[in-house]
Amino acid sequence: MERQILFRDYQEQTAQDHKDLQDFARASIDHLVQDSVTKTRRYSGFSTIKSAQAELQVQPGRFYANDGAIYNRATTLVQSVLTYLPAAAKRVISLTAYGVENETDVEERDFLVDVATGRTEPDAVSTTRSRDAILTIVSGAESADPQPPAIPVSSVEIARVLLDPTQVLAVTMMTENQVTSTEDLDIRAAVLEAFKRLIEPRVASLASDLAALANKINGQGEKIDIIHIMQDLAEVKEKVHLPATYSDYGASYFIWADPDVSDLTDSLHLGFDAKVEEGVRFPDAAANEFEVTLFSQLDQNASLQGGFLLPKYDHRLKISTGAYSTDLGMAQYGYQTYELVEKKLHKERIRYGGTYMRCVNGAVLWSGGDATTNAWWLDDFTTEQYNATTTFDGHWYRTDYYWKDSWTVPYWELETIQHNINGAQIAQSFLVANDMWATRLGFYVTSKAADENIFVSLVEVTTGVPDISKAILHQVYPAASIVTGWNRIDIPPTFLSKGGRYAVVLTSAANHRVGMASGGSYLDGTFFYSMDGAYYLGDFTRELMVEVWCAQFAASQVTIEFAPITLDGGFRNVDLQARMMVPASTDLVLEVRPNGSGEWLQLTQDNISALSNAPPLAQFRGRFIGTPDIAPGIALAGSRCKVTRPKTVFTHIWKNVTLAASSTHISVKLVLERFDATPHTCNVTLRVGNAWVNPSTVTTTLVDDAAKRYERVCTFNLAAATNTFSIRAIGTTNSPANLFHIAEELYWST
């Protein structure tokens, strides 16, 4: 006990002495609980179960306050929840506890009123003061997707109860708020020690094992090389057997709409009507293309800034270089002209629907691909519009009904903005430990000079030095806004990768004096300045006073509704292309609710039936899943969403083919996938001169039953030799819900 009351022989005692005996003991216990047990509000006991259709039973328990006080409830509580039942949907209510002090056990006691005569008078007084735990229910809002209510700061949440209009559906104890005993901690520590003894020797040897594995992998061939070899061997084994006398041949995998092969504009007037997208596919019977927008600009879950959407967030200071030590004038480093190149957040593309059946020739994309083609992009993304100057670094994910194209690096150089700025330039680099969205930058000004703007840029660091050719943000901070002290500028959300190094770059034509921290106050970066506009010099004796603020999200998962999707006659496919960033620890799940009723259906690879009924109208939303520190983001401005439904007939025309020598024997082979002989047809004819020629023989061979892959070889015996012809392939189906595609087409002559 921290304090005691001292009693001596024949010493007078007062009521306060006896009160202090208890108060001192209580204070010591409170301190012991706060120092050794918990400093946050917790509970123990209070096991809650459903005891009737709309009734809860709560066992005795204790509430631990954050000041060390313990409040007890010694009796079982039976609580009806009839008044909380929702009218139509569902509701979540929370059982909470808080503590109060009560004076109880009122008894009649005699009090001395006259010392001289010894006269007493009786009075009814409380003889006990207790700390009592009070149980209350906090009700959430009624909703089809109910969320738990906000809990008062003085309470602790014990259990969450899910209600429907008739009963209690589920009771979930909030075990994370329970106080943990030292015995439980000892058991957990013993488990961890046992795990350490088991895993530590394996981890110690992991580095050498990884090095050996890397050496082994480096000695293997490229994956695409193996794929190509397998394709060649498969053709040989499948009895293609091209004779040595073949004089000319050609092939196309139809990875993208190549105008050199496919008559995309119908220039030959032979009726071209097909979609070439990793195979020849059925064209669109109807389409609607639009920019994704919010359903409500007042959505409390959304934060839309500059057309970029994130879940609702607050600004939180993440990085600060140190306290003020001295200052310096920016102009001392000389006036230069700088060419700053601002990169853009990469685009991703998600395609969902029955049209997007996986094609075996998608393996060609794995070789590294070509960013200058439109294999990735909707029609407006072309080489002429975007100068592809970087090494291609993309990823394809292909499964039936779901395709996803993504980029490895957050910011790419397919789209850039050139900035020419003048003035003196200084910078401060910093290290990012965790993925985050930068939302505000701060810098310290001790003296404002002439009315000149300050250019604030955020750039990547290359070989330890700021690289203004790799800027990811560029803002102008107007002279009128410059103040003495901290200047904080809100910026569009800018993604910073964990483990990456970045730099805040300040450029101005005026001699503004900026605050500096002492060298060594910030160990994860360096202060830089430029004297000639080309090279940076580091100064390790001081740091530029800068702040980097990041987004602190209100919830780990939020749902944001977009404007509905519509297409007269219904749609079966969704093709979304937008700038987006979905870090590894997060997910962005797109969902639709067809015809605005029923349940929400995910547009994911494991849900193939979301659009099977071809709805003409569907609500559209995104579920942003992450943590309070990081969440996915998407740029609605500039996004493109295309919804379509396919025709039941396609006509593909291979442009004029010119052989090295004239021939009367020409063969054409088609590789058909997802092909069913009963509802599907696919016929090949040649255009020789002004006439159509039908094949003399047609041979169809099943190659892969699971993929319904067939090889169809059409042999043409011409009446007269020719060295020029076109190839027409016509495919039909009985339903837009049952499609096939041409994966490959070859021709040869003998």
Residue 4 makes CB contacts below 8 A (sequence gap 6+) with 24
Q: How many other C-beta atoms lie within 10 A of the C-beta of residue 609?
A: 9
Q: Is 496:438 a contact under the CB 8 Å cutoff?
A: yes
Residue 207 makes CB contacts below 8 A (sequence gap 6+) with none
Cα distance between residue 413 and residue 347, in whole Å: 11
Q: What are phi and psi of 468, to 5 degrees?
A: -75, -5
Q: Is 134:100 a contact under the CB 8 Å cutoff?
A: yes
Q: Does domain 232-283+648-749 have CATH number 1.10.8?
A: no
Task: Give the pLDDT score at 393.
Answer: 57
Within 253-383, strands assigned E span 275-276, 280-281, 284-290, 302-305, 308-311, 313-320, 326-329, 336-345, 347-353
- The length of the chain, given as a count of residues: 750
Cα distance between residue 674 and residue 238, in whole Å: 18
Closest C-alpha to 624, from 536, 555, 710: 555
Task: Give the pLDDT score at 5.
Answer: 85
Cα distance between residue 360 and residue 327, in whole Å: 63
Indicate the Cα dihedral angle 581, 584, 585, 590, nearest 10°: 50
Q: Is 96:151 a contact under the CB 8 Å cutoff?
A: yes
Confirm whether pTM is higher than 0.85.
no
Cα distance between residue 695 and residue 483, in whole Å: 82
DSSP state, 194? H
Q: Which two tokens stand for residue 274?
A: 């097909």
Architecture field, domain 286-311+554-646: Sandwich (2.60)
Helix 206-218 with 182-204: angle, nearest 10 deg: 40
Cα distance between residue 550 and residue 628, in whole Å: 11
Q: Does domain 314-340+414-547 have CATH number 1.20.1730?
A: no
Cα distance between residue 643 and residue 589, in whole Å: 18
Residue that has been written with the tokens 């946050």 in this structure:
40
Task: Give the pLDDT score at 36.
Answer: 85
Greatest extent of the chain over all pairs of C-alpha atoms, in Å: 146
Q: How many other C-beta atoms lie within 10 A of the C-beta of residue 607?
A: 13
Task: Give the pLDDT score at 598.
Answer: 87
562 sits in which H/E element: strand 557-566
For the chain, residues classed under CATH 2.60.120 are 232-283+648-749, 286-311+554-646, 314-340+414-547
Cα distance between residue 331 and residue 556, in whole Å: 45
Cα distance between residue 144 and residue 123, in whole Å: 58
pLDDT per 10-residue tile (average), the chain, 750 residues: 84 84 85 88 94 94 93 94 92 95 88 86 88 94 91 94 94 93 89 84 70 68 49 43 52 83 94 94 96 95 95 95 93 89 92 91 56 48 38 71 88 87 94 94 94 95 93 95 96 94 96 92 90 83 95 95 96 95 93 91 93 95 95 95 97 91 92 94 96 96 93 95 95 96 90
Q: How many other C-beta atoms lie within 10 A of the C-beta of residue 209?
A: 10
Q: Is 577:348 a contact under the CB 8 Å cutoff?
A: yes
Q: What are phi and psi of 246, to 5 degrees?
A: -60, 130
